Structure 1
């Protein structure tokens, strides 16, 4: 399944797979997003697969939110790989 990003009134829904093959779509959608918004909610409930490139893209978005002092919420029971990455980041800190 391809990547699909749907903008709703208060959040973005990410559906399908987030891999190195479609990462450019994700980066294009969220490029400079924190210059336009103070907070961002991404729902990953329908994200079926994510590779390390996708995890890194979300981590970069997270780092950008911290740098610019903006709010980023990733909601939904998505892929375990993503949760494991952020869980290991917390343990390392």
Structure 2
């Protein structure tokens, strides 16, 4: 399944796979959204798979938002592997 992104009450809902074949368009799409909004909330409840490239894409968008002094949040319970990687990268 391709990655589908919809917006509902200011939250962007993702459904599908965030992997090497969908990450580039995901980054391009959300770069534009970050430019247009002060606060971007990404709900990953519908994400069924995320690989290393997808995770790096989320990290890239977090850095872009930070440079632009914008808020970028990831919420939801989809694909629990993402939380382990973020927790490990926060420890230093």
Whether these two folds match at TM > 0.5 is: yes
Instruction: Between 44-53 and 3-12, report the one with greater CA deviation.
Output: 3-12
Instruction: Provide the secondary structure at the position in 1 that maps to 2:78.
Output: coil
Aligned residues: 92
5+ long unaligned stretches in structure 2: none
Taking only aligned residues, the RMSD between alpha carbons, in angstroms, comes to: 1.3
Q: Deviations over 1:9-50 (max 9, x none)?
A: 311101010011122331232123322111100000010100
The equivalent residue for 1:42 is 42
5+ long unaligned stretches in structure 1: none
Tell me, yes or no, if structure 1 residue 33 matches structure 2 residue 25: no
> Which 4+ runs in 1 deviate beyond 4 A?
none
Q: Equivalents in 2 of 1:33, 1:83: separation in Å?
A: 23
Q: Equivalents in 1 of 2:73, 2:25: separation in Å?
A: 20
Q: Normalising to structure 1: TM-score of the pair?
A: 0.88
Q: Normalising to structure 2: TM-score of the pair?
A: 0.89
